[in-house]
Amino acid sequence: MFGLFCAREKDDSPDATPVFARFEITVVAKGGSDMTLDEANLIEFLHGGYDRGWVSFGKIDTLEKPPFLVDDTLIIGLQVSAFSASQKREWTLPRAPGSHSDATTAAGAAQRRRTALVEDLAGLLAGGQGADVEISSGLGEDVRQVLKAHRVVLAARSPVFNRMLLQSGMRESQVGAQISLDGVDHSIAEQFVRFLYTEELDPKIFESPDAVCHLLALGHRYEVRSLFQICSDRLTITVDTAIEQLVMAEQFSMTALKEQVMEFICSCRKRLAQVQRTAAFERMSKGYPQLMVELFAHATQPPEKKPRASAAPPSDECQVGGVRARI
């Protein structure tokens, strides 16, 4: 057997910091299958003089013949993802050239380039260098907070911002432009703007159906299709959010979502009663009376006819908006 190890050079300087790493060692084949082992866990390489690897990586007689040993040459590939404990940033060393898995390597390289681009844009947003647009947000009488952004990034990501910021004659196209996200909580505005720069959302945002709804609305308002699609796919209908989602579906002409929410509300008498007790239901009855009529029609529509043997027993009465009806 033969062994292969990865080690960090010893560093005795007083300011040396631990380095953490994931790594993969490969014996590169010539026209055959590579031999690869990887350390999936995060390994701490201390201040040097410490290595990790495999004593029994492979059999020696395997290397003494092609495809691994060619013209007395053996290629060893090492791919490392490492970062210091203080910087929390990841670097990746490329796989050795010549591997048959070039497609996988290329995909990994493309992902690393995308990650680097995302990090650079996120850093640009966080630092505010060269920012020429201010985005204000806040709810009610709260003090409005401001995000500094770059018009060229916003215009590239949103057709609405493109028209607003780059077309002459628009107020926002002037130097020192200000954009107001009325009725949007600042934390939601931060997620929205960051998505425009990075195409990423904080995973925790999906724990809040209300937050997802607001981001979906922003995606629709500013024609950010990828954000709209992500939020549509992750939207969760609950008793507390159903009416707001129904109103949103009506506003944005989202027929499929509208039908889904109505079915959720009306498929269970207990759930229907719970929804009626929410403040959102009262607001809908005043602001969207036609939508309440549609909801009433959905709740009272006769069931589909079924074969006599499997006919369901008649259901009880239900009440929508003070109107009692038998289903």
pLDDT of residue 160: 92
pLDDT of residue 306: 43
Lowest mean pLDDT among 13-17, 201-205, 268-272, 295-299: 13-17
Average pLDDT value for the chain: 75
Which amino acid, 170?
M
Token pair in block for residue 145: 């907070």
Separation CA 169–CA 153 (nearest Å): 20
As a whole number, mean pLDDT of residues 294-309 equals 68
Which amino acid, 72?
D
pLDDT of residue 15: 67
| 211-246 pLDDT per residue, tens | 888 899 899 889 999 998 888 878 888 888 889 889
- 211 or 175, greater pLDDT: 211
pLDDT of residue 314: 44
pLDDT at residue 316 greater than cutoff 50: no
| C-alpha closest to that of 60 among 31, 33, 27, 25 | 27
pLDDT at residue 113 greater than cutoff 70: no
| 43-67 pLDDT per residue, tens | 555 444 456 777 777 778 777 766 7
Angle at 186 between CA 154 and CA 128, to 5 degrees: 45
